[in-house]
Amino acid sequence: MIVHDPHDWVRPVLDFHRSGSFRKGLMPTLVMGLLTALIVAIELRWLRLGPDHPLKNITTMHTLLGFALSMLLVFRTNTAYDRWWEGRKLWGQLVNASRNLAVKLDALVPEDKVTRAFFARLIPLYAHELRLHLQQEKTRLELDSKPHPEIPDFDRSKHIPMQITQLMTERV
C-alpha cells in the first residue's frame, strides 16, 4: 500500500508523468487529439464551417454531449464503486462470522485432533466454495492430493456451501 503525505502535494504533481495510468493513457489520448485536430481542419478548410457559418453553434452541441457523457461516466463509476464496497462489507461479515464460529467451536468441541482438523479445514472451505458458487465456476474442490475421508465427494449439481454447512452441523 502506498502511503501519501496529505501535506506534500507538490511531489505527486511533479511525479504524475511516472504513474501507470498516465503511461497507459498517453497514446490513446494523443491519437484522439490528432483525430480531433484532423476533423477540425476538415471542417474549417473544406467544409468552411467557420464562425460566420449557420452551423457555428456546433461547439455548443459538443459541449452538451461532453457533459452528458461525463455524467454517464460518473454514474457508472459510482455504481461500480458502490457494488465493490457492498461486496467488501459482505466479505468482511463472512470473515467475522467464520472467526466467531471457530471461537465457539473451540469451546464446544472436545480436545480431539481429528475433529478440530475437520473444522479447521471446513470453515475456510466454506468461504472458498461460496466464492466459487457466487462466481458460478464449475471447478473441483481444491484440496490436498491426500484423500480426506471426513469430506465426502460433494454433488456439484447442488449448492456446495449448503452441503459444507450441513456436514459441519452433522459433526457438531
Whole-number pLDDT of residue 38 = 93
- For the chain, list residues with pLDDT below 50: 137-144
* Ramachandran angles phi, psi of 109, nearest 5°: -80, 140
Whole-number pLDDT of residue 139 = 42
Quote the pTM value: 0.47
Whole-number pLDDT of residue 54 = 60
Whole-number pLDDT of residue 133 = 74
> Are the CB atoms for 141 and 134 separated by under 8 Å?
no
Cβ neighbours, 10 Å, residue 121: 14
Whole-number pLDDT of residue 150 = 56
> Are the CB atoms for 169 and 126 separated by under 8 Å?
no
Whole-number pLDDT of residue 140 = 41
Whole-number pLDDT of residue 97 = 93
